[in-house]
Structure 1
Amino acid sequence: MMSKTTAKAVKVSKNRKKSWKKHCPVDDVEEYLDNKRFNERIGGSAADKSDESLFVIEKTANNALLSEDKQKATKAPKESKLKSIQSDIKYFKLLESQSKVDPISPRIGPKETKRTLLNDDKKFAKLWPQKRKQYLRAKQMAEERKAIKADPKLRYEFGFDLWGEKPETHPDDEEIEELIDYQEVLKGSKPPKVPKHRYNKPSLLPSVEVPLSGQSYNPSSEAHQSLLAMAHDIEVKKIREDQHFTRLVEDHYVTKASAPNDQTWSQEMSHGLGLSDDEDNDIEDQTEENDEKISHQLIRADKKKTKAQRNKELLQKQMSLKKKLEKGLKIKANEIFKLKTYKKELDRKDKESTERQMRRSERIRSKLFKPKRMSRYEYSSPDVELNLTQELSGSLRSMKTEGNLLEDRFKSIQRRNIIETRTKQTFKRKYKLKKIIKKSCKDPIL
Structure 2
Amino acid sequence: MIVEKKKKRVSKKNKAAWRKHSDIRDVEDFLEDQRLEERLGHFDTKKDEEIFMLDTVGEGKEEEKPDVKPLSAKEQKRAKLNETPRCFQILLPSSKVEDPNKKRNTVKATGSKPSDLSKLTTKRKIEKGVLQKQIELTKKNIRIAREKKRKSKVIRQTFDKNLWSADLEAKGIPATLCEEFISPEAQLHNVHTTQRLRAKPPPPKMVVSRMAVEPPHPGVSYNPSFQEHQDLLQQVVKHEEKMMKKEAHLLRVTNKMFRKVTAQSKENQWIEEMSVGLPQPHNPQTDEQSGSDGEYRAINPPVQNKKKDHKARRKQREMIEEKERKKREKIDKKKITDLYKLRKLQASITKKEKLLEAERKKKEMKKKELAETALPELNAHKAPLKEPEFVPPEELSGDLRTLSASKNLLRERFESLQRRGVLAASRVMMKKKRRVKSYFKAGHKVTDQDVEKYMNKINKKNKLTVSK
**TM bucket normalised to smaller:** 0.3 to 0.5
* TM-score under structure 2 length normalisation: 0.33
* TM-score under structure 1 length normalisation: 0.35
Larger Rg, first or second structure (1 or 2): 1
Q: Which has the higher helix share?
A: 1
